[in-house]
Chain A
C-alpha cells in the first residue's frame, strides 16, 4: 500500500495536511485530514477575569473574531445572569450577520470561484484569484464590495473590523446612531444585487459539476445548528436542533448550556482538531455536520422573503429531505448571504434597535456560563467556569470547524476514492481532494487556536504507512 500526502492544503484558512493511503492495487484505502497546529487557548485563558474573555478569545483568530466575541459575551451574560436589552441583542445580531456575509463572500469569490469558473482540472496557475481578476473582473470586484459591506458594518457597530471592541458582557458599549443606521441601509440594495448575481452564476453553472456534487462529501449524517422559537434560521440567541439524514428531528429546543448532554469530544492521535460527536450515537457513529448546509437542513424556513424563495428551491434538491451533498455548502452560503442582507435591513428598520439602553449591569451570579452562536462555519460554543471573584477556572471551546472534523474526513476519503488513481495521480484529482475541504470553509486557525504559516501538504503512504511521496501545495 502507498500513501499520498497533500501538504499544505491550499485556499483554506490555517495549516493542514492530507494523507491518502493506497492499497497494493493503487486504489485509495483511506484518507484523512490532519490539522498540524496547536496553541492551547483554553489553558491560556485560565486565571484571567471573565470580563477579558471577549477580547482574549477574539484573538483566537483574525478571521472570525466577531464570532468568538459574540459567543464569548453570551457566555459572560450567563455568568452575570443577565439578558441584554433588546437593542443590544439586535446590534450583536447585525454584527454577527455582517461577519457571516463577509466571510461567505470571501469563500465564494476568492477561494472557491476559480474552481467553478475554470474547472477542477484547470492548470494550477489558473485556479486562483489573479486569473479571476483578469477574466472575470466584475465578479472579483463584486467579491471585494460584498466583503467591504460586511466589514464596514462590523467596524461601524463593533469599533474595529478585526477584533471589535464594542461587544461586551451585558450588551454593547454604544447605541446605534441614526447616521450609521442610514448609511448601512443605503448600501443594502447594491449588496443585494451582488448577492443575487453570485447566486445566479452558481445555479446556472451547477450542471457542470455533477460528478463533484455526487462525490464531494455526499453521505448520510446528522445536522446541527441553532434555530429560533419558530424553528427558523438564526445565528444568535437561539436553541439547538439536531436532525438526522432523513430530516427527523432528534433533539429540539436544547438550551446551549446543556450541550454536554448531547455532544461528546473525541481526540485522535494524528490531529490537533477535536472530533465532536452526538453522544447518544457514540463515536464515531454520531458524526454530524454544522455550517450553512446544516443550518438550512434543520430549519423550517429562513424567515425572509428572498432567502425563503431560494430556500424552497434548495429543499427541492432532495425532495424536502436534508441535502446530503457537501458541494451544496456553497449554495447554502449564498442563500445565507441573501438572508443576512434582508435580516440586517429588517433589524435596522426596527425602531427598538435604535433605543438608548444597550447594556445590562450585574456582578458575577453564576460560576458557569455557556455561550453559543452560529459562526460562518457553524455552531460555536464557549463554556467558562469562574470562581466567585469572576476569575476563569476552566474553559472549553467547541469551534465550528471542529464540529465538522469527522465529516471533512469522510468527505476527503470519498473524494479520494472517487478521483485518485495511485498509478496516475493528476493535479486535478488532488485539487478535488482539497476542494472538498473548501466546501466546509474550515478555519483551522480557530479550530485549533493555532498560529503559523497559512497553507497546507498531500502525503502518499504505502501499506506499511511509509511515505513514498510528498506533494507540496504551498
Chain B
C-alpha cells in the first residue's frame, strides 16, 4: 500500500502545494493508495503509515533560487528537530526505530519563497499537474 502525505498551510500561499496535490489526487480514485492531508507533521502520523510500503511526502520548501522547481530527495531533509511539529526525517526515524518499519520514502518539494500568496498561478498549477500526472500514471513510483 502507498501513502501520499500532502502537508502545508492552505492559508499561506504556495505552502499549500502538498495539500493541493492530494486534493487533486482524491478525485482520481487511485488504487491501493491512502491519501493524507496535514497542516504539519506530528509524531502520531507514524501510526497512519504502519501499513504503508511506500510513503510519498509532498510539500513546499523555502528556497529563494529556482522557484517552482521540484526537488525530490529526502537527503535534503536533514532536520531532526522536535518541537510540537516534526520533520520528514524524524517521521522516518520513528518508523524505523520504534516500529521496525522501513517503507520506501520519497519527497516531492516545490521550491518557493512565497508564503503569502500564489505568485505565479500558471507555474504553480503546472507543477501541481506534473506531480498529479506522475503519481497517477504509475501504480507505484517505484515500479
| A-to-B contact residues, CB < 8 Å | 11-13, 59, 62-63, 103, 106, 110-111, 128-130, 133-134, 137, 140-141, 143-145, 147-148, 151, 160-163, 443, 454-455
Contacts and interface: CB of A to CB of B under 8 A. Distances in A.
Contact of A133 (B39, B81, B98): B98
A455 B81 contact: yes
Contacts of A144: 43-44, 46-47, 94, 98
Contacts of B76: none
Contacts of B40: 62, 162
Given A63-B85, A106-B84, A147-B44, 20 more contacts: A11-B82, A12-B83, A62-B40, A62-B84, A62-B85, A110-B43, A111-B83, A129-B90, A130-B80, A130-B93, A130-B97, A133-B98, A140-B98, A141-B98, A144-B94, A148-B44, A151-B42, A151-B44, A160-B39, A162-B38
A224 to B, nearest CB: 24
A13 B84 contact: yes
Contacts of A62: 9, 39-40, 84-85
Given A133-B93, A144-B44, A128 B98 contact: no
A252 B47 CA distance: 44
Contact of A106 (B43, B46, B99): B43
B28 interface: no
Contact of B83 (A13, A140, A143): A13
A302 to B, nearest CB: 26
A134 B97 contact: yes
B98 to A, nearest CB: 5
A106 B86 CA distance: 12
A454 B40 CA distance: 13
Interface in B1-27: 9, 11
A163 B98 CA distance: 28
A359 to B, nearest CB: 25
B82 A129 contact: yes
Nearest to A65: B39
A129 B97 CA distance: 11
Interface in B88-118: 90, 93-94, 97-99
11 contacts: A13-B84, A110-B43, A128-B82, A129-B82, A133-B93, A141-B99, A144-B43, A145-B44, A147-B43, A147-B44, A148-B47
Nearest to B80: A130
A38 B26 CA distance: 37
Nearest to A107: B84
Nearest to B100: A137
Contacts of A160: 39
A163 B39 contact: yes
A84 B14 CA distance: 38
B86 to A, nearest CB: 9
Which of B9, B40, B44, B93 counts the most chain A CB atoms within 10 A?
B44
Given A129-B82, A144-B44, A454-B83, A137 B98 contact: yes
